[in-house]
A and B are shown apart, each in its own frame.
Chain A
């Protein structure tokens, strides 16, 4: 029997055991989510935060109580309740590793329940790559405190002082006489800890106990199989799409055929006689049909006759005219004070807690020596006030104008990155149950807590009447349409009084989900006579005005279609590059432009994995490569020279670690030091290598791509990818490697495939052919991931874990573009590098 079988069986047994243990216990109340016939965690017993059970109201679990986080069962097993979600990177397993370590219990005697608002504390959910960097710390401190309390209980029970006791796998023994022993399960024996923690907010929550150092961890740092994978491959996992409730019905949207269209009529008779038809629901420009069965709802939504009025002027330019539009559009006025653009107090909580996603302003450090404040060595929470600035710049270091006027050589380039979509693998979906005057929403959205608040506000219900049950689903790469579908399901469920399952169809998902903003970046650089980059001008424009936040009741799509408008659209943001190069003179400007119409449009922008990272990094790291080529210098040497020219470092040693990842990537690749491009031969297949580097927060990444470019077709194949990745302490190496690999391939997909296309009234990328993504044939034949774990100098303290769910996407686009240049001598400055575009560029250059 494999370990994963053991694990599954164990969880099954554990949950049954919980029930048994529970019934015997006076301290814990039986609350099963399965009351209405469906549950994310069927059979699981939960902490006592909601004694009224699944009928509501649903009070917030008190994060100041150990009991809200950890339940130790009589059979000496434990369940962890955490307020995060795992969209597929294995963080749930990592939480178990770390909490098992701190509690001192065997990993295989634990299980972890995530993200259901009535039974798990509010840690926001997931986002910002904060799972281990931020969210794991309160979990660890609480588990350490539970261990401390159990040791005190054992001290009384065994009649020995705490310092005479030892703990191993949840068994406490007297050091001098190991026959004297007691288990955690025996000590707690169905009672509650009833121990209050301190800390003004959940990220500061703590007890008296100290957490373990990295070397003291037994499970943290080891490769464990992810506990969610076996049920994902044998078909047993219950996903959010699988929840079924008695009396449940199916809804499908009827989207406007054009952006910003006004609904002028609904002919209900066109669907009334269809089998299973229940109702057309509509308000403002929002329309949906409800039927008994799923296929009936799909048919009725297609067949419903509606009439719409187009807007008088085009809501946006066609995609081929987008960059011309962005060049000439007036930038959005920047709010006087940071954060002014954040619209509602409802959304603020989520935005603040996740601010790393919204703005990279503090990471725009020109260099450690630049004189620009580099605050990123602090924990993310401390950076928040500055991260709220929606648009940053101009940021000036040194005297760029003087440096440019005295330059030996000036180079200029402009880069274009189109809108790219979430295009989640399945249509957005949710099930909303209005039973008992409450609202339960089953969703895969990664931010269940803000969804609860958002839906309560949207429906005008008390917050404690709403609960959100998080379950697995397709992706979780930011602000996806999963949120829109959940609000829609809940609103319709209120209208018809039955549980409603909403799912978007493919064309809705591809056309109407939120998009990562398009960027236009102009860059200019000055080289001195020795080929040093002495001045650097970065000017970014993002098309990001009215960027929607998480679960905002006044920006979610159904609210927009119903005519709800916030006072002021969110300003959006334009990020700057994240590097540690010592360039003595820099000017960096980030501006935001908006499309002509901002509401009820399928070109809504929202956070998409590393929301503002790949675009400026593509420009900046391509440009560094252009500068190296202009200086006729090896691109690795050129980068290292600028990193080594710095003399100071920050508290996370990012400059030293930047050097380390570049050198590690070059070593594993077998970097051939020479200027780019290489000599272009006569063969049909041209090969080249390129590199790029960046950081996201304190995670530092260098990547090298080796590409083959077919000069006859323009087709680009990334034959080999190398990633040297440093996210500090690695909790689960195998899990991290796969996350980094897939994240980098996501970058490859965005480099060579992905672009949202539209005409002047609608998105025309509506399926997997018109919105291309990476496929099996595009995958490299070799991928090397090097985990450069921590600071290279041994005398420095352990680094904590930093985020790893997004960083390796960031440099990939530039690494590919730089490799294409190396192979062909042709610089592709427009994403994606589709073969027709590359071929045209090769032909234009006479290659």
Chain B
């Protein structure tokens, strides 16, 4: 065991854990976060993704001791109680089915749009391709990303069509 310093969603933590412990288990079991989740433990599906230095990172294969910069999780995306435009777009598009993978979908999309605010459809597909969904919500997720691109550009929230409540 050794002392590890970790900054997550604006808060600093000192932990006494094995340095090779994957970041995922620290976030979930020590810091009680629910956004990043175990999907494969192999860096293949994206359920565990977090943002470090602007990149969407597989926390399931990242040793906690290697993390030197602040970690942002799904819980850290909302600012002052206001959802990130991506999260709002996910609600407006009613994107999830079971929703278990959506942490990875949203985090990957966030890293994409922060780097490239106006990706083409092909760029969206390519950037999202390593993020899996077993309920096949892909089409909805891509629609939600396009909606969020608009709201980020307008600075306003586009109203959901179709939905009455």
Q: A residues within 8 Å of B by Cβ?
A: 2-4, 87-90, 107-108, 222-226, 228-230, 232-239, 241-242, 244, 275, 293-295, 298, 423-427, 472-476, 503, 505-506, 733-735, 738-739, 741-743, 745-746, 748-749, 767-769, 773-781, 783
Contact = CB atoms under 8 A, between A and B. Distances in A.
Nearest to A775: B129
A733 B162 contact: yes
Contacts, number: 193
B99 interface: yes
A742 B135 contact: yes
B40 to A, nearest CB: 4
Given A229-B96, A233-B96, A475 B135 contact: yes
A218 B20 CA distance: 57
B30 to A, nearest CB: 9
B12 to A, nearest CB: 20
B164 interface: yes
B8 interface: no
B94 A229 contact: yes
Given A236-B34, A423-B134, A425-B100, 4 more contacts: A87-B98, A233-B87, A235-B74, A426-B47
A768 B40 contact: yes
B98 A472 contact: yes
Nearest to B48: A426
Given A225-B165, A235-B34, A777 B125 contact: yes
A255 to B, nearest CB: 15
Contact of A275 (B1, B47, B87, B128): B1
A241 B44 CA distance: 19
A295 B165 contact: no
8 contacts: A88-B98, A229-B99, A234-B78, A475-B134, A506-B42, A734-B94, A775-B132, A781-B121
A506 B98 contact: no
B25 to A, nearest CB: 5
Listed residue (A226, A743, A748, A776) with the most chain B CB atoms within 10 angstroms of its CB: A776
User: Interface SS of chain B: helix, strand, loop or mixed?
Assistant: loop
B8 to A, nearest CB: 12
A295 B22 contact: yes
Ordered nearest first, which 9 A-B pairs have the shortest CB separation?
A: A88-B98, A232-B99, A745-B136, A235-B35, A474-B100, A235-B74, A88-B97, A235-B75, A506-B40
Nearest to B40: A506
B21 A749 contact: no
Contact of B91 (A233, A777, A781): A233
Given A224-B164, A293-B29, A476-B98, A425 B132 contact: yes
B91 A780 contact: no
Given A425-B47, A475-B135, A107 B25 contact: no
Nearest to B136: A745
B88 interface: yes
A88 B25 CA distance: 25
A4 B91 contact: yes
A226 B44 contact: no
Given A225-B91, A239-B34, A476-B98, A749 B103 contact: no
Contact of B99 (A88, A427, A748, A777): A88
A768 B47 CA distance: 13
Contact of B38 (A503, A738, A749): A503
Contacts of A107: 165
Which of B75, B91, B135 has the most A CB atoms < 10 Å from its CB?
A: B135
A741 B139 contact: yes
A739 B40 CA distance: 25
A396 B74 CA distance: 58
A473 B74 CA distance: 17
Interface string B67-83: 00000011101100001
A223 B126 CA distance: 32
Given A232-B102, A472-B98, A425 B39 contact: yes
A234 B87 CA distance: 7
B18 A295 contact: yes
Interface of B: 1, 18, 21-22, 25, 28-29, 32-35, 37-42, 44-45, 47, 73-75, 77-78, 83, 87-88, 90-91, 94-103, 106, 121, 124-126, 128-142, 157, 160, 162-165
Contacts of B131: 776
Contacts of A735: 94
A15 B26 CA distance: 31
B97 A739 contact: yes
Given A223-B163, A234-B83, A425 B94 contact: no
A269 to B, nearest CB: 21
Contacts of B32: 244
A758 B95 CA distance: 35
B42 A774 contact: no
B165 A108 contact: yes
Nearest to A741: B139
Contacts of B28: 242, 294
B91 A474 contact: no
Contacts of A779: 125, 138-139, 142
B134 to A, nearest CB: 4
A237 B129 CA distance: 25
A429 to B, nearest CB: 8
Contact of B142 (A90, A773, A776): A776
Given A295-B22, A749-B136, A238 B98 contact: no
A761 to B, nearest CB: 23
A779 B131 CA distance: 13
A234 B135 CA distance: 19
A477 to B, nearest CB: 8
Contacts of B135: 88, 425, 475, 742, 746
B42 A234 contact: no
Contact of B74 (A2, A234, A238, A298): A234
Contacts of A239: 34, 37, 100
B125 to A, nearest CB: 5
A425 B103 CA distance: 12
Of B1, B44, B96, B137, most buried by chain A (CB within 10 Å of CB) is: B96
B133 A425 contact: yes
Nearest to A423: B134
A780 B139 contact: yes
Nearest to A779: B138
Given A223-B162, A275-B18, A474-B134, A235 B33 contact: yes
Contact of A241 (B37, B124, B162): B37
A505 B125 CA distance: 28
A87 B96 CA distance: 11
Contacts of A226: 94
Nearest to B101: A425
A778 B135 CA distance: 14
Contact of A223 (B41, B44, B139, B164): B164
A709 B136 CA distance: 22
A230 B140 CA distance: 15
Contacts of A778: 138
A768 B25 contact: no
B139 A745 contact: yes
Contact of A776 (B39, B41, B45, B125): B125
A626 B74 CA distance: 50
Contacts of B90: 229, 233
Contacts of B139: 741-742, 745, 779-780, 783
A425 to B, nearest CB: 4
A472 B38 CA distance: 14
A426 B37 contact: yes
Contacts of A87: 98
B34 A473 contact: no
Given A773-B132, A781-B121, A234 B75 contact: yes
B161 to A, nearest CB: 9
Contact of A777 (B39, B77, B126): B126
B60 to A, nearest CB: 10
Nearest to A238: B34
A232 B44 CA distance: 21
B142 A88 contact: no
A731 B88 CA distance: 24
